[in-house]
Structure 1
Amino acid sequence: MDAELVMLVRSGGTDGVSAENITRLEKAGWRVKEAEELEFENVDTSQIRSHHRHNLNKLHVWSWTEYERIIFLDADTVCKGSLAELWQMPGDFAAAPDVWWDVITDNRFNSGLMVLRPSTEEFHSLVKHVSDPNYHSPNDADQAFLNTYYRFRYFGLPYKYNFNLIMYQFHRYYWDLLWDEAVIVHFTVRKPKPNPRDHCHKGCNEWEPMEWYGMMFREMLAFYGWEDDIPLYA
Structure 2
Amino acid sequence: MKHSNRRGPVLPPRSAFAGFRFPPNVIVVAVRLYLRYDLSYRDVEELLLERGVEVDHVTIFRWVQRFTPLLADAARWCRHAPGDRWFTDETYVKVNGVWRYVYRAVDQRGQVIDVLVSARRDAEAARRFFRKAMVTLKVRPVEVITDAAPTYPAVLDELGPSAWHHVERHANNRVEADHSQLKHRLRPMRGLQTDRTARTIIAGHAFMQNLRRGHYELGVNAPRGLRVAAAFTELATAI
TM-score (norm 2): 0.25
Indicate the structure whose relative CO is greater, using CA pairs within 8 Å and at least 6 residues apart.
2
Structure having the higher helix fraction is 2
Query: Could you say which structure has the larger radius of gyration?
Result: 2
